[in-house]
């Protein structure tokens, strides 16, 4: 069995998945590197040429993870429309070449628009796919709510990140490198910041919590594309703002442990989500989690922290404070969080994915 994966992403997810498969399954990336002003005009044709070559070499399954590489720079006139057309061409070409497509629906819809009609693209992709991998049963319901075909969905969970990143510094050492007192209480969020992550709400919750916790700190680590976060942080009074540590930058793999190990609680007040690698990363570091019970988070155990119902409308600071102010509960949640991550074996996930490939080869 030979698998062509698209695209190659910097997230370690793909290699964690494909690593256990190599040796019995051939895996190669559909990877084209093109820069310059003519990228939009040449990218898809070159993808198709490569797909033809790989098809002749015996590759029969095309595993699609994301379509963001098919976006067209915003300065190009009609960028979203061009992206829509060329994405349809790419998907149709793969189907006409006889590839059995498998789509992993990491997100039901992209966080930011890629084409002029992302929903139509998702519907086409699902209809052409011989298998659709979803991280939880809730994703199937969400796909169906958008009118996307769910007839070939298979639930395969996201794995953990235990052992992927260095985890050798203690909480005291991590805090020392960030200039945080060893005896402080620290809440935070880790990962690239987009508007759907609702970080301004976390900043407001911190301000309310800080009124009764004079040693409370907030750590925000990850490149930020949401101007609302800077506005929220900028509105905090100077004395309190000194206890908000915002690292608006790409975090190198070697530094991941500094930020996560400094935290007592990882908070993710998402407004929408399909699945979250950031939460699984926090669990992999044994961090108690506070997050809404939406998307794949509905399948996570309550013991990992506080998974709240958005409709309950309980203030975020109350939810965080209830856990922060109970040392025994905090310790139990951290231990449960790590156990949950440890149970998400990549070997098992790879086997389940291989089963989807085998099933796809016998569809149609």
Does some domain include residue 165?
no
Does some domain include residue 59?
yes
pLDDT of residue 37: 57
pLDDT of residue 363: 66
**Domain check: are 154 and 180 in the same one?**
no
**Domain check: are 93 and 12 in the same one?**
yes
pLDDT of residue 157: 92
pLDDT of residue 236: 83
| CATH number (domain holding residue 76) | 3.40.50.2000
pLDDT of residue 364: 54
**Edge-to-edge strand list for the sheet holding 26-29:** 26-29, 2-6, 61-64, 100-104, 129-134, 153-155
Supply the range of the domain harboring residue 230: 171-342
C-alpha closest to that of 139 among 122, 115, 114, 118: 122
Q: Are strands 244-247 and 61-64 parallel, antiparallel or unpaired?
A: unpaired
Quote the pTM value: 0.90
Angle at 271 between CA 324 and CA 300, to 5 degrees: 60
pLDDT of residue 238: 79
Does some domain include residue 166?
no
C-alpha closest to that of 129 among 156, 95, 94, 102: 102
Does some domain include residue 164?
no
**Domain check: are 191 and 142 in the same one?**
no
**Domain check: are 135 and 281 in the same one?**
no
Does some domain include residue 231?
yes
Please report how the helices 39-56 and 79-96 are oriented relative to each other, as an axis angle in degrees rounded to 10.
10
C-alpha closest to that of 267 among 203, 202, 330, 200: 202
Does some domain include residue 188?
yes
Does some domain include residue 29?
yes
pLDDT of residue 31: 87
pLDDT of residue 111: 84
**Domain check: are 47 and 186 in the same one?**
no
**Domain check: are 130 and 145 in the same one?**
yes
Does some domain include residue 55?
yes
Residues of the chain with pLDDT under 50: none
Q: Which residues contact 13 (CB under 8 A, 6 or more apart)?
A: 158, 159, 277
**Domains of the chain: total:** 2
pLDDT of residue 296: 83
């Amino acid at each position: 069995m030979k698998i062509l994966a698209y695209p190659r992403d910097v997230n370690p997810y793909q290699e964690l998945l494909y690593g256990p498969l190599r040796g019995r399954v051939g895996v190669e990336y559909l990877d084209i590197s093109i820069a310059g002003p003519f990228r939009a005009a040449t990218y898809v044709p070159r993808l198709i040429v490569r797909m033809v070559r790989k098809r002749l070499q015996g590759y029969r399954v095309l595993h699609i993870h994301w379509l963001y590489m098919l976006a067209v720079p915003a300065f190009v006139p009609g960028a979203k429309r061009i992206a829509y057309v060329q994405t349809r061409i790419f998907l149709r070409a793969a189907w006409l070449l006889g590839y059995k497509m498998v789509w992993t629906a990491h997100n039901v819809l992209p966080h930011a628009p890629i084409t002029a009609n992302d929903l139509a693209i998702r519907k086409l992709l699902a209809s052409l796919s011989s298998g659709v991998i979803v991280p939880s049963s809730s994703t199937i319901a969400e796909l169906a709510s958008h009118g996307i075909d769910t007839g070939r969905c298979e639930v395969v969970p996201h794995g953990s990140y235990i052992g992927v990143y260095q985890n050798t510094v203690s909480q005291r050492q991590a805090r020392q490198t960030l200039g945080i007192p060893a005896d402080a209480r620290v809440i935070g969020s880790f990962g690239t910041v987009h508007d759907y992550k609702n970080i301004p709400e976390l900043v407001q919750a911190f301000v309310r919590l800080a009124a009764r916790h004079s040693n409370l700190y907030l750590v925000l680590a990850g490149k930020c594309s949401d101007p609302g976060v800077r506005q929220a942080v900028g509105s905090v009074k100077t004395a309190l703002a000194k206890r908000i540590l915002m690292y608006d930058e790409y975090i190198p793999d070697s530094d991941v442990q500094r930020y996560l190990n400094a935290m007592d609680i990882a908070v993710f007040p998402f407004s929408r989500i399909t699945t979250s690698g950031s939460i699984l990363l926090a669990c992999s570091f044994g961090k108690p989690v506070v997050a809404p019970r939406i998307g794949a988070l509905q399948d996570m155990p309550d013991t990992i922290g506080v998974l709240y119902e958005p409709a309950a409308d309980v203030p975020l600071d109350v939810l965080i404070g209830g856990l922060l102010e109970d040392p025994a509960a905090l310790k139990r949640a951290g231990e449960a969080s790590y156990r949950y991550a440890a149970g998400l074996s990549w070997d098992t996930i790879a086997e389940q994915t291989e089963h989807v490939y085998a099933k796809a080869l016998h569809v149609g």
